[in-house]
Structure 1
Amino acid sequence: MSASTPFSDEFLNPNIGREIHDFACQLWPINRSITGAGVRQTLEMIKAHVPTLVTRDIATGTQVFDWTVPQEWFVREAWIKTPDGRKICDFSKNNLHLVGYSVAVNKTISKEELETHLYSRPDLPDAIPYVTSYYKPRWGFCITDTERQQLPDGDYHVFVDADHFDGSLTYGEAFFEGETDDEILISTYVCHPSMANNEISGVAVSTFLARLVANMKSRRFGYRFVFVPETIGSIAFLSQNLNALKAKVKGGFNLTCIGDDRSYSFLPSRDGNTISDNTARHVLGHIDASTTYFEWLDRGSDERQYCAPGIDLPIASIMRTKYGTYPEYHTSLDDLKTVVTPAGLAGGFVAACRCVEALEHHCFPKVTVLGEPQMGRHGLYPTLSHGKASSDLRLMMNAISYADGQHSMLDIATRCKVSVWMLYEIFDRLEEKGLIVKNDTLKK
């Protein structure tokens, strides 16, 4: 990587996908929800990689915009016993078996009554679905449809040992200062239990991205990483920090479903034309020409909160295969073997790095001479004519031709039909020779 890259060598680490995948495997068994011990355990594991991470607690009952922080939820044990004494839907074997936020229950019921508390996916008969009931008290179990169809008649013992109690909602935040007061916000969510792409991948990639940003040679901008429970967590975070965020955040990304190796996906901010949108579109398009570009109307993650009217932060979503568009989504089939892979995580990580890198280089180059510069006089004209030298010179001259102080480096790359990272070294050399100046205003 050229000297223009702000990152450490970790950006080029050929084993980075495996390292992120190993971390994802450590996160896998934890029973995460929108509150509770699973979230705090996950944040502690992140802190092992990002020591500056701090946890924030917002008490049960706190009003956060139009929402109220709910009680905490803690599960010790949950299962069903069949008429012949077999234990099924055992929470200790797969935490997806229990409907999220289920209330306690301990009773014997008929199969007919049990059916009203069971959830399965006939279209995916071997999958355990992911079902939650955060804001209405109920209990329930999730089961493969194959097993459900084989349940015998008779009485069933259902048991859920769970507590709901006043506590707090917890989220994690790490901030890395930059040379300016402007900030880039990176967000992902820590509320999903044992599912890989949605959302262990976002947590794992964001953790390694935060570690990389912490070790950057220099930072123009401050970087704020938040690990929040989806929806209620981002709302709580915003409610506590809105004025400061609106004043300082000039760009950022929601990282979600970023670990499979099937595709790349982009979902814009509500505005659709922020520096975050334009950066992510450009980067993903040059990484993979078959990237899928969604519209704001396709939203479904925390971009809904960050871009809501009155909040209006410039946050776009970077994904591999978008939530809700792959068959294993919100089921036990969303795993770390067939869905999320080291190669997929590495791809998501590099995409996020490239976006950060592009923001760090964002500027409006302006040529300092009238007419074309005499390249040979500045030591920029190749002394030996060959194909690559000619193409490199042509790209440099094309870049100069757009360097009017009105086009950003990203604009110039798009007009030159190259990736923006192909221009970093070119503009650095031109700046060293005094042929351009970089106006570095970063607008949302």
Structure 2
Amino acid sequence: MQKEGELMHQLMTELYPICRSITGDGVRETLKIIQEIVPLTIHEVPTGTKVFDWEIPKEWNIKDAYILDEEGNKVVDFKKNNLHVVSYSIPVDKVISLKELQDHLYSLEEQPDAIPYITSYYKERWGFCIAHNERKQLKEGKYRVFIDSELKEGSLTYGELIIRGESEEEIFLSTYICHPSMANNELSGPVLTTYLAKWILSSPRKYTYRIIFIPETIGSITYLSRNLDKMKANIIAGYNISCVGDEREYSFLSSRKGKTLADKVALNILTFNKIDYKSYSFLKRGSDERQYCSPGIDLPVASIMRSKFGRYPEYHTSLDNLDLVTADGLQGSFNIYIECIELIEKNEIYKVNCFGEPQLGRRGLYPTLSTKETGRMVRDMMNFIAYADGETDLVEISNLINVPVKTLYPIIDKLYNAELISKVNKNEKKLI
């Protein structure tokens, strides 16, 4: 049986050639492929719709683009790499001089073999992106520039999956689908979220899951404008999933205040897995956490990544390709997110049901043979009981007694089955 990492990388390979932007057929094609794996509902929001302080832009689609030299050679070809065209470029078909062409070219001197990723969503222009070494080889003369694109009254498209649980309280997962052929910055988030959704669907859950695939920024603003009241009422923790596919150091980006359940769970799981990670404050934000954590919205959303957006050399270039992202890198991120979700699902406030130290022996909870291992198990159990005070939740207890939650899960089951502890309602602090 294939591991999730291999399946995710296969899905990424299928999605990689598609030219996506914040609107258009590339987004629809991507969502329809994901829809074959998990049952997304696909929504269309018409051009011109007001969404908070923003407005849905015109829809953009592109069929072809190239630059021809005087000999008819394609010195730039959109069909070879869709990063070659500035996203949202207006159509153009004319012959211009090299001097005029240079005003519409974008390259990176510091990364001369990389094609940069450039966008112009909200100002009409046209342009091409090219490796700087290739740009330097352009000769004086005339060039035909051709972009077969369309800006029209259309819609913004996003995918949504609501997985009902026992509770109306929700765990929120968001990822974006608006970049063309880049692997870590774009497709690692959607493919990982797809397989997380598939895993969540595989068995009953306590919480309801709200999972969305949106274009970055305008998509999150649009979704919030349509769902904010319900989200604020129900979401207890959430993650913005992006840049999760390479094998480099993990990154953690906190929510605005850094004290939400999502923050605490992520830090607990990263720490007890003994994973090297770099922690970033909300001041280093850059993706849809900007919207989810903004004042007045204040959703409990954080991010766990591998190489953080903007912090790895291949970011927003053609070097962010299928060689950068690996099945092992995706699998590692997948496993971390599963552990976070499991902890949120199992996180409770517990209260011990007796005064003083409980008699474990008569309940079969005290080992009859003393070894180092049994001594550790008893110590962990007694330390858990010491903090099961009706006020402290599982994440905090794990941190206080320095024991991974995975070690505490079977201990809790034994104590609960022996009726030595009770779950306490987090809101009302009453026994349930």
TM-score (norm. length: structure 1) = 0.94
Equivalent residue of 2:77, what SS? Answer: coil
Amino acid aligned to 1:191: C
Instruction: Give the conservation status (yes or no) of the 8 Å contact 1:83–1:152.
Output: no
Aligned pair partner of 2:233 in 242, 247, 270: 247
Q: Does the alignment pair 1:367 with 2:367?
A: no
Q: Distance in 2 between matches of 1:86 and 1:133?
A: 27
Q: Does the alignment pair 1:416 with 2:404?
A: no
Aligned position for 2:302: 316
Instruction: Give the conservation status (yes or no) of the 8 Å contact 1:264–1:288.
Output: no
Q: Residues 179-218 of structure 1 correspond to what in structure 2 (within 5 A)?
A: 179-216=166-203, 218=204
Aligned pair partner of 1:229 in 210, 215, 230: 215
Query: What per-residue deviation string (whole Å, max 9, x for no partner) do you get for residues 248-275 of structure 1?
Result: 1111110110111101111111121011
Q: Which runs of 5+ in 1 are unaligned?
A: 1-12
Identity of aligned residues (%): 51
**Deviation of residue 442 (structure 1)?**
6.9
Q: Distance in 1 between matches of 2:242 and 2:64?
A: 30
Q: Which shows bigger deviation, 399-408 or 280-289?
A: 280-289
Aligned pair partner of 1:72 in 47, 59, 62: 59
**Deviation of residue 405 (structure 1)?**
1.2
Q: Residues 290-305 of structure 1 correspond to what in structure 2 (within 5 A)?
A: 290-305=276-291
Amino acid aligned to 2:366: Y
Aligned pair partner of 2:19 in 31, 48, 65: 31
Aligned position for 2:146: 159
How many residues in Structure 1 have an aligned counterpart in Structure 2? 428
**Deviation of residue 17 (structure 1)?**
1.1
Aligned position for 1:356: 341
Q: Which shows bigger deviation, 369-378 or 167-176?
A: 369-378
Aligned pair partner of 2:163 in 151, 155, 176: 176
Q: Distance in 1 between matches of 2:427 and 2:112?
A: 50
Amino acid aligned to 1:30: I
Query: What per-residue deviation string (whole Å, max 9, x for no partner) do you get for residues 337-357 of structure 1?
Result: 1x2111110011111111110
C-alpha distance 106-136 of structure 1, shift in aligned 2 (>3 A): same
Q: Distance in 2 between matches of 1:69 and 1:164?
A: 13
Q: Distance in 1 between matches of 2:425 and 2:329?
A: 33
Aligned pair partner of 1:138 in 108, 122, 125: 125
Aligned position for 1:397: 382
Q: Distance in 1 between matches of 2:376 and 2:71?
A: 76
Aligned position for 1:276: 262
Aligned pair partner of 1:334 in 320, 335, 351: 320
Q: Distance in 1 between matches of 2:266 and 2:179?
A: 25
Q: Residues 55-134 of structure 1 correspond to what in structure 2 (within 5 A)?
A: 55-134=42-121
Instruction: Give the conservation status (yes or no) of the 8 Å contact 1:250–1:442.
Output: no
**Deviation of residue 88 (structure 1)?**
2.1
TM-score (norm. length: structure 2) = 0.97
Query: What per-residue deviation string (whole Å, max 9, x for no partner) do you get for residues 395-441 of structure 1?
Result: 11111111111111011111121222221111111000011112252
Amino acid aligned to 1:382: P
Q: Distance in 1 between matches of 2:88 and 2:267?
A: 38
Equivalent residue of 1:251, what SS? Answer: strand
Q: Which runs of 5+ in 2 are unaligned?
A: none
Aligned pair partner of 1:219 in 205, 208, 211: 205
Amino acid aligned to 1:33: S
Equivalent residue of 1:162, what SS? Answer: strand
**Deviation of residue 103 (structure 1)?**
0.4
**Deviation of residue 385 (structure 1)?**
2.0
Q: Distance in 1 between matches of 2:408 and 2:305?
A: 25
Q: Distance in 1 between matches of 2:211 and 2:281?
A: 25
Q: Distance in 2 between matches of 1:352 and 1:370?
A: 38
* Aligned alpha-carbon RMSD (Å): 1.2
Aligned position for 2:36: 48
Instruction: Give the conservation status (yes or no) of the 8 Å contact 2:249–2:306.
Output: yes
